[in-house]
A and B are shown apart, each in its own frame.
Chain A
């Protein structure tokens, strides 16, 4: 039998057993695995031995996930805060700290960095702010998730088929120029103030960028790939699944990135207009109490969340679109 393992091959007598994502290097350490003449082919004496090994791998899943998360965090932080960037960032932060402190700018309008950090610490200690962040995130992911679930398939289908495109797309092209904030009054009337209204607004904000970018990427699939798949006999369904989507995958992830930023905008707007919790609510509340440090904490939290989500998507792209980087 031959099984593909990360593109490599394992031979186990003549029985069919396919395993995916098994570390070949790890398998090579086992005594019963011998490296065949070919580099990518491993041959194993009995399938039972491999099964035991695979069970062990399932136990190690948590360990593997942890390792993955660490490597992601390390990569995200190190790639952003490079020495070249720190040369700019550190003086800027110093200016932020020193200028208000020495009274060069108005302390009441622009509190220094240390004040903001202290406020942040106090807000965290009160726990209320954590609840606010959690609330915002639940809404945000509900809206964004809904947008992805609806917009990606819609984009793929409109990109694939001209007839469906002609029937569906003009509707969205007419609706998309309406700025999402303009939907706020009517959604409040429809859904009332609360979770459904906020989720719907976030959905609306991130829906169009995801839809149009996905559509564009799928439409621009290299016709040569389609031609060769069709000449081998691919059905349209296979074509969508195995040609259109993989070739557009990078662009789809990019479109989710722009969906994230549009969604964050709508999150703040939705919470400012109607809501009793969330980061947008904190911002609004801070404005009415003229609490500038609190505002800044809210803003910085939003900035951090946006940056973090974009990093996650970048990481997902690097993991899923392996072939683009090659090597």
Chain B
């Protein structure tokens, strides 16, 4: 059983220029990827290679132009009709999503489309809620019964060491604590998949390493699948079971590495360094022919 199944996905952005001509670029071009349950997958690649777009398609924040994404066997977003589809199909799609965004879950009832949680570089914890309310809110959206919500939130916050900052607002927290809150919120809902978009990029290196260790400890013995977009090669090597290297223009999968390093891993072990070097040279090659607009 695959947690995530990406079937030949393409994402094309069309842009209408100032002189009324249309142009566009392909962010992701026919990518197929199968991710097994319980694995940690890292997506690496040069800037602008469509990693984030790819992750957003996994999370249902963007609809693919072609192809389809399945999380836990369920289609994430309906693919909009392409240029080739009939007028009737186009009209039907337009009518269906006339008053509600295709990204919306539903109008009235809280009901997740599929069982994922997302983490972003800039945390995306709600600044108008306290630490405790943030976690409670996420659980409420998952329709967790009221009594259980509090217990689960407290339990998870205790696990990440935020149990003495329950009534604080995110503005009062440090970057590392905010990211811990985001982690606690994502884990509290017990999702099948967690999608992380450069989650540890905005914190300093010591905090980052501690957060990485904590992440590994927290998801140990669960079957949560993690997809991690990162720029940090050593982070990818330290955390993941598999690394997918993207190449840019158009974004395609360049190479896949399966890391058979035993856990618990050590940083800077000879095996890890070897992998890092291989990936580094591959990425260097990838960025070289891109010219000046990369990086």
Q: How far is the CA of A161 from the CA of B151 in the complex (A)?
A: 36
Classify the interface of chain A: helix, strand, loop or mixed: helix
Chain B, interface size category, equals: 35 or more
Given A230-B103, A235-B109: A323 in contact with B128 (beta carbons within 8 A)? yes
Closest B residue to A3 by beta carbon equals B150
Q: Which residues of A contact B56 (CB under 8 A)?
A: 227
Q: Do A236 and B104 contact each other (CB < 8 Å), given the known contacts A7-B133, A163-B99, A246-B126?
A: yes
* Given A163-B98, A235-B111, A238-B141, also A230-B127 (CB < 8 A): no
Are A164 and B133 in contact, with the CB atoms below 8 A?
no
Stretch from B29-37, B78-86, B166-174 at the A interface: B166-174
Contact with B along A151-195 (1 / 0, CB 8 A): 000000000011110000000000000000000000000000000
Is the CB–CB distance between B132 and A232 below 8 Å?
Answer: no
- In chain A, what residue has the closest Cβ to B153? A2
Asked whether A228 is an interface residue with its Cβ less than 8 Å from the other chain, the reply is: yes
Q: Mark A218-244, 1 if CB is under 8 A from B, else 0.
A: 000010110111111111111100110
**With an 8 A cutoff between CB atoms, is A109 at the interface?**
no
CB contact list, B121-161 vs A, under 8 A: 122, 124, 126-130, 132-133, 136-138, 141-143, 146-147, 150-151, 154
The answer to whether A235 and B128 touch (CB under 8 A), given A38-B163, A163-B99, A228-B118, is no
Q: Is the CB of B124 within 8 A of A225?
A: yes
Given A161-B99, A235-B107, answer yes or no on A224-B112 (Cβ-Cβ < 8 Å): no
Main secondary structure of the interface of B (DSSP, over half): loop
Contact A9 B132, CB 8 Å, known A224-B120, A238-B110, A322-B169 = yes
Cα of A225 to Cα of B124 in the assembled complex, Å: 5
Q: Which residue of A lies closest to B116 (CB)?
A: A231
A residues near B, CB below 8 A? 2, 4, 6-9, 16, 38-41, 161-164, 222, 224-225, 227-239, 242-243, 246-247, 249, 321-327
Contacts A2-B150, A8-B166, A231-B61 given; 14 further ones with Cβ under 8 A?
A2-B151, A6-B167, A7-B133, A161-B101, A227-B120, A228-B124, A230-B104, A233-B105, A235-B105, A246-B129, A247-B126, A322-B169, A323-B170, A327-B171
Interface residues in chain B, defined as those with a beta carbon under 8 Å from any beta carbon in chain A: 56, 59-61, 98-101, 103-113, 116-118, 120, 122, 124, 126-130, 132-133, 136-138, 141-143, 146-147, 150-151, 154, 163-172, 189, 195
* Closest 4 A/B residue pairs (Cβ): A233-B112, A7-B167, A326-B171, A7-B130
